[in-house]
Amino acid sequence: FVGSSNKTECKSMDLSWNKYIDKKLEFHDQLLLDTIRRDQDPVVREYMRLLALCHTVMVEEKESELVYQAASPDEEALVTAARNLGYVFLSRTQDTITISELGIQRTYKVLALLDFNSVRKRMSVLVQDPEGCIKLYTKGADSVILERLHGDQTNEGCTIKALDSFAAETLRTLCLAMKEVDKKEYALWSKKHHAASILLQGRAQELDKIYEEIEQNLKLLGATAIEDKLQDGVPETIHLLKRGDIKVWVLTGDKQETAVNIGFACQLLSEDMIILEESKISEILEPTWYSSNSLIGSSEALCNNSSFLPYQASGGHVKKALVVTGDFLEKIFHTEEEKKAKKMKGLLESLCFRTADTSKEHGNLIEKAFVELATTCQAVICCRVTPKQKALIVQMVKRHKNAISLAIGDGANDVNMIKTADIGVGISGQEGMQAVQCSDYALAQFRYLQRLLFVHGKWSYLRISKFLRYFFFKTFAGMMVQIWFAFYTGFTAQVSVNSPAPP
DSSP string covering 222-265, please?
EEEEEE-PBPTTHHHHHHHHHHTT--EEEE-SS-HHHHHHHHHH
User: How many other C-beta atoms are found inside a 10 Å radius of the C-beta of residue 208?
Assistant: 15
Q: How far apart are CA 331 and CA 308, in angstroms?
A: 19
* Residue 240 within any structural domain of the chain: yes
Look up the domain containing 283 and give its range: 234-291+318-336+360-457
Same domain flag for 139 and 192 = yes
Same domain flag for 177 and 138 = yes
Q: How far apart are CA 139 and CA 318, in angstroms?
A: 42
Q: How far apart are CA 322 and CA 263, in angstroms?
A: 11
Q: How far apart are CA 125 and CA 118, in angstroms?
A: 17
Q: Sign of the CA dihedral 233, 234, 239, 242? A: positive
Same domain flag for 153 and 251 = no
What's residue 305's pLDDT? 54
Given 227, 248, 273, the domain boundary residue is: 227
Could you tell me the CA-to-CA distances from 459 to 203, 274, 450, 463, 492 in Å, in that order?
51, 37, 13, 6, 46
Q: How far apart are CA 133 and CA 110, in angstroms?
A: 12
* Residue 97 within any structural domain of the chain: yes
Same domain flag for 331 and 182 = no
Same domain flag for 167 and 98 = yes
Same domain flag for 239 and 147 = no
Q: Is 192 known to sit in a ligand binding site?
A: no
Same domain flag for 122 and 84 = yes
What's residue 16's pLDDT? 66
Number of domains in the chain: 2
Q: Which residues pair with 58 in a beta bridge?
A: 69
What's residue 181's pLDDT? 93
What's residue 501's pLDDT? 61
DSSP state of 455: I
Residue type, 209: K
Q: Is 203 known to sit in a ligand binding site?
A: no
Q: What is the CATH number of the domain that holds 408?
A: 3.40.50.1000
Could you tell me the CA-to-CA distances from 296 to 320, 365, 367, 374 in Å, in that order?
28, 9, 15, 21
Given 183, 206, 227, the domain boundary residue is: 227
* 126, 112 contact by CB (below 8 A): yes
Same domain flag for 138 and 256 = no
* Residue 24 within any structural domain of the chain: no
Q: Is 117 known to sit in a ligand binding site?
A: no
Residues 6+ apart with CB under 8 A from 101: 45, 48, 49, 52, 86, 87
SS3 sequence of 307-321: CCHHHHHHCCCCCEE
Q: What is the CATH number of the domain that holds 151?
A: 3.40.1110.10
* Residue 13 within any structural domain of the chain: no
Q: Is 327 known to sit in a ligand binding site?
A: no
Same domain flag for 93 and 39 = yes
* Series of mean pLDDT values for 10-residue runs along the chain (503 residues): 39 63 73 86 93 92 85 88 91 93 93 89 93 94 90 82 89 93 94 92 91 93 89 92 92 90 91 89 74 43 52 63 91 63 52 50 78 91 92 93 92 91 89 86 93 93 94 90 86 75 63
Q: Is 410 known to sit in a ligand binding site?
A: yes
DSSP state of 146: G
What's residue 363's pLDDT? 62
Half-sphere exposure of 28 (CA within 13 A, CB side): 3
DSSP helix/strand/coil, 175: strand
* Residue 78 within any structural domain of the chain: yes
Q: How far apart are CA 79 and CA 59, in angstroms?
A: 10
Same domain flag for 138 and 240 = no
Q: How far apart are CA 335 and CA 326, in angstroms?
A: 12
Q: Is 320 known to sit in a ligand binding site?
A: no
Residue type, 473: F
* 422, 404 contact by CB (below 8 A): yes
Q: How far apart are CA 386 and CA 162, in angstroms?
A: 25
* Residue 193 within any structural domain of the chain: yes
Q: Is 252 known to sit in a ligand binding site?
A: yes
Q: How far apart are CA 142 and CA 336, in angstroms?
A: 24
Q: How far apart are CA 123 and CA 375, in angstroms?
A: 37
Over its C-alpha atoms, the chain yields an Rg (Å, rounded) of: 29
Same domain flag for 115 and 152 = yes
Q: Is 413 known to sit in a ligand binding site?
A: yes
Q: How far apart are CA 177 and CA 43, in angstroms?
A: 10
Given 179, 202, 227, the domain boundary residue is: 227
* Residue 492 within any structural domain of the chain: no
Strands 423-427 and 441-443: parallel
Q: Is 390 known to sit in a ligand binding site?
A: yes
Same domain flag for 189 and 260 = no
Q: Is 422 known to sit in a ligand binding site?
A: no
Half-sphere exposure of 246 (CA within 13 A, CB side): 19
The H-or-E segment that residue 110 falls in is strand 104-114
DSSP helix/strand/coil, 379: strand
* Residue 472 within any structural domain of the chain: no
Residue type, 60: E
